[in-house]
Structure 1
Amino acid sequence: MDRAPDLPDDTRIGRTALRVADRARLTEFYRDVVGLRVVSRDETEVVLGVDETPLLVLLDEPTAEPRDERAAGLYHAAFRVPSREALGAALGRIRDRWTLDGASDHGISEALYCTDPEGNGVEIYRDKPRDVWPRADDGSIRATGGPLDLDDLTTATAAADGDSAASEDGTVPAGTTVGHVHLEVTSLETARECYADALGFDVTMSYAPGARFFAAGDYHHHVGTNVWNRRSEPADDRARGLAWFELLVPDARAIDGIRERLADRDGGATVDERTDGGGIEVTDPDGIEIRIRPMG
């Protein structure tokens, strides 16, 4: 049997959902520090995003315990802003209201890192133009790891038109998305079998010691995986942290391709049909849930 086609080029990450014990505090962080806007809320969840586009779901689980240090799960959720000025505005919010953990120039992107009040990693980044992305001789993407010049970033933001840095209410501007999710897994090889062989991502970058990245459409990565913290147990669906993330594909044919690959290959993943808007729910070998649905 021929292999089902890989994921379409315009595949992207949709929403990310977190189980949280202190919903009010996490809402405040993602609103005032990250710069998202509350889109909706009810008794069980708060949805934040940009304009009317949801990007993050906070699921109210007041009795949830912190994630066990051995368990797989989220390394960070990465919010991609559309301009360097918007990244500088995010730096200002973090400095004014929170703590900056780190900042890197990866050649492909410029990124800021912090940690939310319940220990979830957060990246805010902007992509550099694709024609300047560093590549190896074979054309593959090769991210770098230099420091980010925060003074230059601040200066560029101060000189920019305010509309390119933030919306009228001070939140991130239109065009902000969840660019990627980075996971802590128990095995890079098992993750490759799931995300590349079964789901259909390309392996875009691999780094020693212990990181591998996957993407569709020649992007640098939609999913990152690492074993840096030696996680040895599957994710706990009762603990705080990542509940699920969403993969958006153009149409039902792409979902059919995923079904075929999952049926043909033992990537350690399970699949269930979803009834809320179509699509499927895939659980990776580490117990991490991926909700896959058509765009729109």
Structure 2
Amino acid sequence: MRNYHRAPNTFVGEVNINVLNLDSALEFYQKVIGFQVLEQTSRKVILTADGKTGLLTLEQPADVLPKEQGKSGLFHFALLLPTRADLADFFRHLDKTGYQFGASDHLVSEALYITDPDGNGIEVYIDRPPAEWTWSNDEVKMVSDPINVESLLTVSGAEWDGLPADTIMGHIHLHVSDLQKAEEFYSKGLGFTVVSHYPQAIFTSTGGYHHHIALNTWQGVGAPTPKKNSVGLNWYTLVFPNEEARAKVIEQLKNLGVSVVSENEFFVTEDPSGNKIQLIV
């Protein structure tokens, strides 16, 4: 199952978001979501599941603004748990906290949805075995049906004790202003394949995954880019299998007229809606 998030595929590695109050956000992400602190300063915290790898970074800009509505940016980031028992344990934990959450069966996956105190969307999910996914004309079938809670809770699990060490960043779902421009950027530029269409949304991946990056215009066609200091997405990383794969993508982006800037050991670009991406190996 984890082969979709390792070489030779390209996948999302880490997400960085702004929050209104770092202390309050940290309490939520530790007690409700189950992260550990990897590194911390007065205005930034890097969070981890395994004690070694940063998955989510929280930042509090000095002049931070609340989340802006009707803008492009983060719809949700998605944490992929190792097993269905882990999802059942997390469900029970959320139920005990009393924190409001939703749940969906997407056929390819089972997912729980929760929003942090600042309005940042979070999905926590498990994949069904790929042999159970249904493909037709190179597209995978996905729906948003109610989850079978009774079935989920029959899974024998353990007392919830935070995110399992093998938790990874499974995918990211973004609001964009123009779906056609976004599709050109993510397919012809970044090299992702469109694997599913949904009303006003597309799902893209590498290596035959159901999706590493989803894109929608649910905030409205032409949705403007939010201010840099507002709550929401700062950037996310795309992890390439090697230098050659990254160099190929950089050339493709430049051929589309997209700016790619070198910063330290990685390169930075933005999609047409202003979503910032770090290209790393």
TM bucket by the smaller chain? over 0.9
Q: 1:139 to 1:186 in 2, by over 3 A?
A: closer
- Of residues 249, 261, 270 in structure 2, which corresponds to 1:272? 261
Residue 193 (structure 1) shift: 1.1
Equivalent position of 2:135 in the other structure: 135
Task: Give, in whole Å, the separation in 2 of the partners of 1:272 and 1:185.
Answer: 21
Name the Cα RMSD after superposition.
Answer: 1.7
Distance 1:37 1:228 in 2: 32
Map of 1:77 onto structure 2 = 77
Tell me the distance in 2 between the aligned counterparts of 1:91 and 1:32.
14
Asked if 1:245 is matched to 2:239, the reply is no
Q: CA deviation at 1:196?
A: 0.8
CA distance in 2, matches of 1:85, 1:62: 41
Partner of 1:174: 165
Consecutive unaligned residues in structure 1, runs of 5 or more = 1-6
- Cα-to-partner distance string for 1:96-155 (whole Å, 9 max, x where unaligned): 22433321111100000011000011100000000001222x242111221101222122
1:20 aligns with 2:19: yes
Measured against aligned partners, the alpha-carbon deviations of 1:70-114 in whole angstroms (never above 9, x if no partner) come to 221100111010100111111122222243332111110000001
Instruction: Give the gaps of 5 or more residues in structure 2.
Output: 1-5
Distance 1:98 1:46 in 2: 25
CA deviations over 1:228-256 (Å, ceiling 9, x no partner): 22162123212111110111111111110
1:43-69 CA-to-partner distances (Å, cap 9, x unmatched) read 231111112111000012253112322
Which secondary structure state, in structure 2, belongs to the residue aligned with residue 69 of structure 1?
Answer: coil
Q: 1:110 to 1:282 in 2, by over 3 A?
A: same
Match of 1:288 among 264, 275, 279: 275
Q: Give the C-alpha shift of residue 8 in structure 1.
A: 6.5
Q: Give aligned-pair identity as a percent.
A: 32
Q: Could you say which residue in structure 1 is the equivalent of 2:3? A: none
1:8–1:217 Cα contact (<8 Å) kept: no
Amino acid at match of 1:215: S
Change (3 A) 1:139 1:199: closer
Moved more, 8-17 or 191-200: 8-17
| TM-score, normalised via structure 2 length | 0.92
What is the TM-score of this pair, normalised by structure 1? Answer: 0.88
Is the Cα contact below 8 Å between 2:67 and 2:119 reproduced in 1?
no
Deviates more, 1:213-222 or 1:91-100: 91-100
Q: Distance in 1 between matches of 2:165 and 2:131?
A: 23
> Whole-Å Cα distance in 1 between the matches of residues 25 and 67 of structure 2?
16
**Partners in 1 of 2:40 and 2:131 — Cα distance?**
41
Q: 1 CA distance for matches of 2:10 and 2:30?
A: 27
Secondary structure of the 1:63 match is coil
